[in-house]
Structure 1
Amino acid sequence: MKNLIRICLVIILIFLLSFSLNAQAQQPYAKLEKNKNIQAKGLIHKLNTTKDTLILQSDKKINYLYSINKDYGRDFDVYVDTTHYRLPLNKLPKGKHVLVAVQSPKRIVFVVKILKDIPKSETVEVIPKETIVATEPTKVAIRGNDN
Structure 2
Amino acid sequence: MSRPSRQEEGEWMSRPHGYTRGEWRYVVLSPGQTVFFPSGTIHFVFRIRGVQTFALRGHILQWSGIKRWLKVIIAQVQNEEITNEDTASSAPQLVHVMKGLVSNRTKAGRDKELGGPDAVVRFFALIKEFDTSVAKLRHAESGVQP
TM-score interval (norm. to shorter): under 0.3
Q: TM-score, normalised by structure 2?
A: 0.18
Larger radius of gyration: 1
Query: Relative to total residues, which structure has the larger helix share, 1 or 2?
Result: 2
Query: Relative to total residues, which structure has the larger strand share, 1 or 2?
Result: 1
Q: TM-score, normalised by structure 1?
A: 0.18
